[in-house]
Structure formats: C-alpha cells, structure tokens
C-alpha cells in the first residue's frame, strides 16, 4: 500500500483521487492539507479534493509524529542519516521531505526535531516518457557495413524540482535494459528506484554517490551509470572521475536553464556531452533545449 504511513482520514480522501494526476501532498502543522497536481493546488478533504478551505483536513502535530513513526518503524535513530538531510523514504520508494528545527553539534547537523512540515512526493512511472530524451542520449553509428553500434552521450538532465527528472531516469533505465547490450548501474541514494529492475540492471540503494562511484563501479563494472540530483562537490567530482574512466554517466540536477548550471560554483566542464533542459510543463520528458559539450544549442 503506497500510502500506508498516512492517517486514516487522509487515506479516505485519497481514495477519491486519481493518484496519477497528483505530484505531492503538503502537510503543515495546524494548516489545511494541500495536494499539488497537474497545474492545480487543492485542499484534501475526507471526500477527495476541494476548493473549500472549511472542508479541508487540518494537519496536526500528532499526524506528523504518527507519519514519521510509521515510516521509520518507530526506530528514528536508524533513519537519522536521512532525516538530517531533510527527507525520509518509505519502503515503497515514496520520498517525504521534512522541515523542522535543525540540531547542531558544532557546525554539523546531527538531527532534525520538532518537525512542522512534510512534503509527500508521489512517485510515478510513465512508460515511454524518456523516448525523446533517449534519442539525444543514444546515437546509432554505422559500423562499416557490419551493422549499427551505439554511442552513448554522457548526459545531464536539467529542470526545477518536481518536473519529472527521476521519472525520466526510471524510464531510461528500463529502456536501456531492453534496447542496449550494456550493464547498467543505478545509484539510488534515496531509494526512489525501488520498482526498477532488469536482467542488465544493478542497483546500489541507500548509499552516497562517493561510496558508489569509488567502490561499486570497480566491483560491478558497469557500462552506464544512472544517478539523480548532483548537488555537492563530491557528486560532481564522482561523475568526472567516472567519465574519464570510460563509464557513461546519465545524471540530473536542478536548474531552470543552462546558465543556472554553468554559473554554479560546483559545475565541472568536460564531463557531459549533452545537456538537456526539460520543459517545465505538466508532461514529463518534453525537451526544451539541447546543448552540446560547449553549450552550443543543437
């Protein structure tokens, strides 16, 4: 059950909703529960979505605490490494963002307490949503009459949060699995790829990129690595090392355009052959712009 961790009245309301049409459920203490969907925001009531605030379910502190206890199976300590990074992931791959009071030991965050907000992000699988992106990543080349070979472009997907990057990466993994004679390694830090598997796919779950790139690549010898959300210096250093070692990397990062990436202090040039800026519309996988390694629009 995808939303086993939610209180009963929330589940009653969600039973009236087409889950494929929503992307997030936002809970804030003492505020109405809000559902973000395809171009709309609505309140959640026990009878589904509503525009009427007075009918909305009001989130209380007990709801927040109950949800966290359910996700962590009443063992918050075991999940603390994720908690202090601002999220938890359920056993079914639902990512729940967390806001609250950060507790420090010196200059390091040791945990988050007094949680006041949750952002339940709804995972989706949209078969075929990566088709357009796939054509940019995979270039067929003629092998002197011996048939066609494939050149894989190291590729970075760029879009703001919640615009379908992870959904596209999931579909790409499935597509690579059935169309390419390649070994694929998925580095799944947040356990969002739980439903992805195949005869050519290996998955490292719940691990930092620095561990997976430094050790799993050597042990699993992949041809292609898929990883989500490059967000710090270690992430960028890892993909650089992988690319110069001959491993193809497909990754994503946040940004509204190519300039957001280029101006980022963490950015490293000559890692990616293609930069794909995704359209910010409702449908995942729609390309807005494609750039080559020199940022020239293709």
Report the CATH fold assignment for 131-291: Rossmann fold (3.40.50)
Whether residue 157 is predicted with pLDDT greater than 70 in this model: the reply is yes
Residues 102-119 as b or e (16 or more Cβ within 10 Å = b): eeeeeeeeebbeebbebb
Rounded average pLDDT over 157-166:
90
CB-CB contact of 28 with 116 (8 Å): yes
Rounded average pLDDT over 50-61:
97
Residues 234-271 as b or e (16 or more Cβ within 10 Å = b): ebbbbbbebbeeebbbbbbbbbeebeebeeeeeeeeeb
Q: Where are the domains of the chain?
A: 8-121, 131-291
CB-CB contact of 172 with 133 (8 Å): yes
Rounded average pLDDT over 240-246:
91
Report the CATH fold assignment for 8-121: Beta-Lactamase (3.30.450)
Report the percent of the chain where pLDDT is more than 90.
73
Distance CA 288, CA 160 (A): 13
From 125, 149, 126, 127, select the one nearest 138 (Cα to Cα): 149
Rounded average pLDDT over 246-257:
95
Whether residue 145 is predicted with pLDDT greater than 70 in this model: the reply is no
Distance CA 264, CA 244 (A): 21
H-helix or E-strand spanning residue 298:
none
* pLDDT for the residue 20: 86
* pLDDT for the residue 142: 58
Whether residue 206 is predicted with pLDDT greater than 80 in this model: the reply is yes
Confidence of residue 125 (pLDDT cuts 50, 70, 90): confident
What tokens appear for 284 in the block? 């995942």
Confidence of residue 191 (pLDDT cuts 50, 70, 90): confident
């Amino acid at each position: 059950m995808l939303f086993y961790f939610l209180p009963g009245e929330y589940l009653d309301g969600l039973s009236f909703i087409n889950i494929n049409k929503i992307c997030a459920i936002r809970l804030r203490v003492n505020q109405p529960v809000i559902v973000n969907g395809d171009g709309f925001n609505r309140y959640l009531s026990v009878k589904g979505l509503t525009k009427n605030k007075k009918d909305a379910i009001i989130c209380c502190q007990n709801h927040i605490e109950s949800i966290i206890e359910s996700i962590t199976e009443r063992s918050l300590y075991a999940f603390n490494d994720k908690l202090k990074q601002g999220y938890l992931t359920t056993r079914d791959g639902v990512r729940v963002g967390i806001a609250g009071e950060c507790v420090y030991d010196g200059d390091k965050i040791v945990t988050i307490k007094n949680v006041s907000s949750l952002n339940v992000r709804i995972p989706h699988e949209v078969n075929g949503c990566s088709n357009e992106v796939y054509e940019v990543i995979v270039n067929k080349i003629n092998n002197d009459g011996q048939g066609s070979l494939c050149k894989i472009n190291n590729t970075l997907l760029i879009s703001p949060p919640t615009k379908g990057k992870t959904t596209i990466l999931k579909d790409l993994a499935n597509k690579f699995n059935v169309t390419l004679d390649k070994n694929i390694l998925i580095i799944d830090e947040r356990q969002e790829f739980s439903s992805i598997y195949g005869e050519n796919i290996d998955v490292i779950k719940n691990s930092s990129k620095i561990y997976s790139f430094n050790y799993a690549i050597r042990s699993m010898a992949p041809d292609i690595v898929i990883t989500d959300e490059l967000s710090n210096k270690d992430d960028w250093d890892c993909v650089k090392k992988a690319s110069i070692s001959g491993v193809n990397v497909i990754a994503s990062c946040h940004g509204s355009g190519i300039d957001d990436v280029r101006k980022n202090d963490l950015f490293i040039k000559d890692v990616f052959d293609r930069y794909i800026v995704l359209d910010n519309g409702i449908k995942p996988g729609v390309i807005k712009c494609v750039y080559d390694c020199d940022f020239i629009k293709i």
